[in-house]
Amino acid sequence: MGVIPEGPLWVSGSDDNLSGTSGMEVDDRVSALEQRLQLQEDELAVLKAALADALRRLRACEEQGAALRARVTPKGRAPPRLGTTASVCQLLKGLPTRTPLNGSGPPRRVGGYATSPSSPKKEATSGRSSVRRYLSPERLASVRREDPRSRTTSSSSNCSAKKEGKTKEVIFSVEDGSVKMFLRGRPVPMMIPDELAPTYSLDTRSELPSCRLKLDWVYGYRGRDCRANLYLLPTGEIVYFVASVAVLYSVEEQRQRHYLGHNDDIKCLAIHPDMVTIATGQVAGTTKEGKPLPPHVRIWDSVSLSTLHVLGLGVFDRAVCCVGFSKSNLPHPSKCSNEAVLVATFHPTDPTVLITCGKSHIYFWTLEGGSLSKRQGLFEKHEKPKYVLCVTFLEGGDVVTGDSGGNLYVWGKGGNRITQAVLGAHDGGVFGLCALRDGTLVSGGGRDRRVVLWGSDYSKLQEVEVPEDFGPVRTVAEGHGDTLYVGTTRNSILQGSVHTGFSLLVQGHVEELWGLATHPSRAQFVTCGQDKLVHLWSSDSHQPLWSRIIEVESRSVTQAGGQWHDLGSLQPPPPGFK
């Protein structure tokens, strides 16, 4: 999990209006442009150096050729003109150089982005001459390794070019009957069906289909390494994420909508107080050509599924791990903690109060006069936990936290001291907390897999245990009536209540999914993967018809003789399945 260097990312709107352009957004855009321009400047420098070296070699060849021709040219006949190098030199001199964005020169267009000439003519000329004089291909390679600026930006560009070449390189093995292609620099072998293998050729061109695919249903949920990522919207939809897709799932209508603005895995999610605007943060990634994709936050409308803002481009390194909204103006960045931050959330009734917690800490922040001040939570007579894992707010303004020791602590409104404690509420960590509309509290445990209902006096009213197959509780969300939605660490979402128990709503694989095969005549398909699980799915109900645990990790699955077979372990399906 990526730790944000300047604390968690705080996202807020001014007077609940997110349409205005903030200073931070402008800074983000300027920073992103500067990075892209820097990358292009390095690429241009490499191109100019390579061109200069080619010109040097060309000039040497022309001089040698001129000398040879001078020996054999008859008297009275003019020797041929040598204008090739001179014309290319003029082209090289015409290449622009770049200054920072606030340079005084008029902007020019290079590769679609604005740059400004900055260096004096003398400096530019001397730079070109030095490059032309010293950069042979061998020297060019060493310079690209040794130059500090090249290590930070140009080296990534060179790597991208190599990866781009790999993505276009497809290897066909006749012996294995497989095709190997590179996806984001990673080799992906694919077996050719037996009936196609004898006549298969990489040069064969197929016609594109007349129709285009449209995303209809997304299976699975990411609960294994994420938290507080399951909410109920006023539309009756539950919102969560898996991979790079934010899913809005209407349980009553059995219909999904999808926000597809992200280009890599989503790691966090937050709902604005208006219950319409949503923020999601993602990890760093790479394009299909191997170019880096920076982590960032996307703010979008849950009704129209349109993107409102993109924040943090060029600010974060690995991932955005938590986001939060406030009704007040955006606070200035401030150093949060040297330890991992797991939660960042604003107080729902006091928009000037922000709470962050994580490894061995909880901080209460106050926004005053455009700056943030913090107070550390005092555990006093209670043992400080290794991790404070979750936070919720009661109707009166008190704050309740759950920690890795299985304890619940109540922090009085406006204070940083514990006013009440429920020790040993769970056997293991408390991963999820949810304050209900009727004043009661629900907590979800990790190791014990229990969902517990607590009264307003923090006495235990009722509890229910989540089945072991679905894993420990990760997060809890309140639905309509007494309905609860529970996300688990085995990437499942359950629906039910502490009175009636829970049933499966969404299920997915826990590890990477590698094998998939469809039934030739039924609306069914099978998946298998690294988690040693094989699921047979109904594409009508979007639920598994059966699941089986096998002994080894799976790579592929197929259907033969009316039965499914996992090729990774040659395990047959459960008895009786046809």
Per-residue pLDDT tens digits for 331-351: 545 556 678 889 999 998 888
Q: Is 36 a residue whose pLDDT tops 60?
A: yes
C-beta separation of 295 from 318 below 8 A:
yes
C-beta separation of 277 from 323 below 8 A:
no
What is the Cα–Cα distance from 179 to 202, expressed in whole angstroms?
9
- Give the mean model confidence (pLDDT) for residues 427-448: 95
Q: Is 17 a residue whose pLDDT tops 60?
A: no
Query: For residue range 453-472, what is the model confidence (pLDDT) as tens digits?
Result: 999 999 999 999 999 999 99
pLDDT for position 116: 37
pLDDT for position 572: 52
pLDDT for position 157: 36
Q: Is 8 a residue whose pLDDT tops 50?
A: no
What is the Cα–Cα distance from 327 to 350, expressed in whole angstroms?
9
As given in the structure block, the two tokens for residue 500 are: 């009636």
Q: Is 299 a residue whose pLDDT tops 80?
A: yes
C-beta separation of 329 from 12 below 8 A:
yes
As given in the structure block, the two tokens for residue 214 are: 């449209």
Q: Which of 60-64, 278-282, 368-372, 574-578 has the lowest mean pLDDT?
A: 574-578
Tell me the pLDDT band of 554, cut-offs 50, 70 and 90: confident
What is the Cα–Cα distance from 390 to 433, expressed in whole angstroms?
7
Backbone φ and ψ for 62, nearest 5 degrees, come out as -65, -40
pLDDT for position 67: 72
331-508, superfamily in CATH?
YVTN repeat-like/Quinoprotein amine dehydrogenase (2.130.10.10)
Share of the chain above pLDDT 70, in %: 70
Give residue limits of the domains in the chain.
215-325, 331-508, 513-566
Q: Is 114 a residue whose pLDDT tops 60?
A: no
Secondary structure percentages of the chain, helix, strand, coil, to 5 = 20, 35, 45
Query: For residue range 496-514, what is the model confidence (pLDDT) as tens digits?
Result: 999 999 999 999 999 999 8
What is the Cα–Cα distance from 300 to 287, expressed in whole angstroms?
22
What is the Cα–Cα distance from 249 to 187, expressed in whole angstroms?
34
Do 215-325 and 331-508 show the same overall fold?
Answer: yes
What is the Cα–Cα distance from 16 to 299, expressed in whole angstroms?
13
Q: Which of 556, 518, 551, 563 is nearest to 537 (CA)?
A: 518
3-state secondary structure of 277: strand
Q: Is 574 a residue whose pLDDT tops 90?
A: no
Query: For residue range 134-182, what is the model confidence (pLDDT) as tens digits?
Result: 334 444 344 344 444 433 333 333 333 344 444 457 888 888 888 988 8
- Give the mean model confidence (pLDDT) for residues 221-249: 96
pLDDT for position 506: 96
Query: For residue range 351-380, what is the model confidence (pLDDT) as tens digits?
Result: 889 999 999 999 999 988 778 899 999 999
Tell me the pLDDT band of 193, cut-offs 50, 70 and 90: confident
Tell me the pLDDT band of 561, cut-offs 50, 70 and 90: low
C-beta separation of 282 from 321 below 8 A:
no
User: In sequence order, what are the beta bridge partners of 14?
Assistant: 17
Q: State which amino acid sits at residue 287.
A: T
Exposed / middle / buried, residue 213 (Cβ in 10 Å: 0-12, 13-18, 19+): exposed
Say if domain 215-325 classifies as CATH 2.40.160.40: no
Tell me the pLDDT band of 127, cut-offs 50, 70 and 90: very low
Tell me the pLDDT band of 541, cut-offs 50, 70 and 90: very high
In whole angstroms, how large is the CA radius of gyration of the chain?
Answer: 31
> What's the chain's average pLDDT?
78
Share of the chain above pLDDT 90, in %: 48
3-state secondary structure of 546: strand
pLDDT for position 427: 95
Q: Which residues, 6 or more positions from 239, have their beta carbon under 8 angstroms from its beta carbon?
A: 230, 231, 232, 233, 246, 247, 248, 249, 269, 271, 278, 302
Strands (DSSP E) contained in 397-518 are 399-403, 408-411, 418-422, 430-435, 441-445, 450-454, 460-465, 473-478, 484-488, 492-497, 501-507, 513-518
Q: Which of 364, 329, 313, 328 is nearest to 343 (CA)?
A: 364
